[in-house]
Amino acid sequence: MKNCLVVDDSKVIRKVARHILESLDIKVTEACDGRDALNQCEAAIPDVVLLDWNMPVMSGMEFLQELSRTKMDARPKVIFCTTENGIGHIKAAVEAGADEYVMKPFDRDTLESKLQIVGVI
């Protein structure tokens, strides 16, 4: 069973994402900011990280930069999942190493399709 770490400061978004991911047979863990996510990745590397952009303590971009600097056995796939829908944000995320980008609001088909593209399902 694949693992997904959902990183979002919104409890509602985490709940929606969990519901969709579990329906796709993916095990879900949650983090409420980038720092929390980084700590969890150091403890156990997930297959994929669903990452919000704007969060307190550590943003999604800061998390991505820290992740690339952190020595790990394997690197998780990273899918940005954010309301930042401008092309500038998308390009910045891809340049920073994001594998995919989901613009909120999203639905099950969108998330399933992005998980297929990154090879998680």
Partner 1 sequence: MSAPGATPGNSAAFTGAMRILAGLLEARTGQILSESRIWRIETALKPVLRMNGMANLEELVSQLLASTESNLTDDVINALLNNETSFFRDLQTFDMLYRDLLPQLSSSKQDKVLRIWCAGCSTGQEAYSLAMQLRKDAGRWQGWRIQILATDISTAAISRAQSGLFSQIDVQRGLAINDLLRWFEPVGDDWKVSDELRRMIEFRVDNLLEPKASSGDYDLILCRNVMLYFSLERRQKVFSRLAEHSRQGSYLILGAGETVIGQTDAFAASRSFRGSYERSAKTEKINQPVRKTA
Q: Please tell me whether residue 52 binds partner 1 under the rule CB under 8 A.
A: no
To partner 1, the closest distance from the beta carbon of 87 in angstroms equals: 5
Residues 65-94 touching partner 1, rule: CB under 8 A, are 85-87, 90-91, 94
Beta carbon nearer to partner 1, 28 or 118: 118
Long-range pairs of 11-16 with CB within 8 A, sequence gap ≥ 24: 13/52, 13/81, 13/104
Q: Please tell me whether residue 53 binds partner 1 under the rule CB under 8 A.
A: no
The two structure tokens encoding residue 34: 């980038």
To partner 1, the closest distance from the beta carbon of 107 in angstroms equals: 7
Could you say which of 37, 114, 115, 120 contacts partner 1 (CB under 8 A)?
114
Could you say which of 18, 106, 115, 120 contacts partner 1 (CB under 8 A)?
106
Angstrom distance (rounded) from CA 53 to CA 89: 9
Helix ranges restricted to H, 1-118: 11-23, 34-43, 60-69, 87-95, 108-117
To partner 1, the closest distance from the beta carbon of 117 in angstroms equals: 5
Angstrom distance (rounded) from CA 30 to CA 8: 8
